[in-house]
Structure 1
Amino acid sequence: MSAPAVQPFRELTRKAAAELVGTAFLVCAVVGSGVMATQLTDDVGLQLLCNSLATGGALVALILTLQPVSAAFNPVVTAVEAALGGVSWRDAGVYAVAQVVGGIVGAVVANLMFDLDAVAWSTHDRTGTGVWIGEVVATLGLVLVVFGGIRSGRTETLAFGVAGYIVAGYWFTSSTSVANPAVAVARTFTDTFSGIAPSSAPMFILMQVVGGALGLLLVRFLWPHTTARPQES
């Protein structure tokens, strides 16, 4: 299999911008809906329901809108795509940086929308073996949903599949299914409902990498044939 072509600078910039903007809006939805939920109710279960539904709705809208340009919004998904030959590693690195920067921008904007400090480091410790296993499961499942749709030729369903899985993951995983290193980093910047303490973030990211690697192996086994990158216009 030949190596994927490196994108020309202008095209790379356009796609990186889409990744930055999309990840920013995604994190803004995650953080902002968490703040709004805690302002409206003291019921933690209802807060999580509001947070998960808002995140799922944002994912559907963002993927449908930006998929013709680039709509991974997740360094693990981008890395798996590179490992499968869908994008060059150089381009994947650029996208990952854009995703992390976009996530931080989204967290800062969400803080400011609710009259909070632009940056307030989270004090929400999220740790323990169960949480770490939850992140492996969450990320592995996300990789299966994304690349199962791509490699079976059903890219038009990706927005709904990904959003549905993440909404469900809020509830069936112990970690509430972060499944995204860019989002994990961004959530350290907010001391709100969705925040993750900086000391907890490295283990989240490590478990996401483990889940992504396991997902890659399973994708290769279940869907051995490659297909074109779905974000390309």
Structure 2
Amino acid sequence: MTPLPRRLVAEFLGTTLLLATVVGSGVMGMQLSGGNAGIALLANAAATAAMLYVLIVLLGPVSGAHMNPAVSMVMRVRGELRSLELVGYVVAQVAGAAAGVVLAHLMFGLDMVQPGDHVRSGAAQWLSEAVATFGLLLTILVGAQRRPAASPVLVAAYIFAAYWFTASTSFANPAVTLARSMTRTFAGIRLDDVIGFVVAQLAGALLALPVARAVATSPNGEPQH
């Protein structure tokens, strides 16, 4: 197994690049489309999905390419991470996400940190985040059993779709959610709305565990763990 420090560097780097993509593509999309939110969302979804594919392929063999505390939490529940490793992963992911937002701001000549002002609250938004994160974890867990080589494509494709079928545009990641409260750009969220998103995301992630066990069965019908 890769030593923990190397895995944490991979998680930090991956989450940094992921958030730089999420925020930067949102800014570029709005600029190039003259403020058309639909076109900006399409650019945002495509860029994020593409970057996810690259990061999972490159960093998956090093750290698992979680880049998401919800994913790491589920892996801890499954016994694939120890508690100390989980703490390290989450710290690296949150720090990397914040660094990615700052990097995107600097690339576009914006203030390094901006309090988010995009209202994202209410039952529909919370349900959307639970569904988005549930689907992401289901994709990861079942994909690892059924089509491990295709996991990067599966995750990227799911996130691209979830941008469009969820009312929240599929944050599906507590570190991403917290970091996006640091920007007033297209990708932002109010800090007050972060806790609702994170609770919904963790609930959706945990719900995916028993469902994945139920559907990921071996060819002879026996559950795979």
Give the TM-score, by structure 2 length: 0.94
Spell out the pairing of 1:117-196 with structure 2 (5 A cutoff): 117-152=111-146, 154-196=147-189
Amino acid aligned to 2:27: V
1:91-133 Cα offsets, whole Å, 9 max, x none, are: 1121111001100000011011100010001111111111110
Q: Which has the higher contact order (CA 8 A, sep 6+)?
A: 1
Amino acid aligned to 2:130: V
Provide the C-alpha distance between the structure 2 equivalents of 1:220 and 1:84, rounded to a whole number of angstroms: 11
Provide the C-alpha distance between the structure 1 equivalents of 2:85 and 2:144, rounded to a whole number of angstroms: 19
Compute the displacement of 1:151 (Å).
2.5
Q: Which residue of 1 aligns with 2:86?
A: 92
Q: Which residue of 1 aligns with 2:102?
A: 108
Q: Which residue of 2 aligns with 1:49?
A: 42
How many pairs are equivalent? 217
SS in 1 for 2:61: coil
Decide which of 192, 200, 219 is 1:199's aligned counterpart: 192
Compute the displacement of 1:89 (Å).
2.1
The yes-or-no answer on 1:72 pairing with 2:52 is no
Q: Following superposition, which runs of at least 4 residues in structure 1 exceed 3 angstroms of deviation?
A: none
Compute the displacement of 1:62 (Å).
0.8
The yes-or-no answer on 1:216 pairing with 2:215 is no
Identity, in percent, stands at: 43
**RMSD, aligned CA:** 1.2
Amino acid aligned to 2:94: V
Provide the C-alpha distance between the structure 1 equivalents of 2:23 and 2:197, rounded to a whole number of angstroms: 17
Give the TM-score, by structure 1 length: 0.90
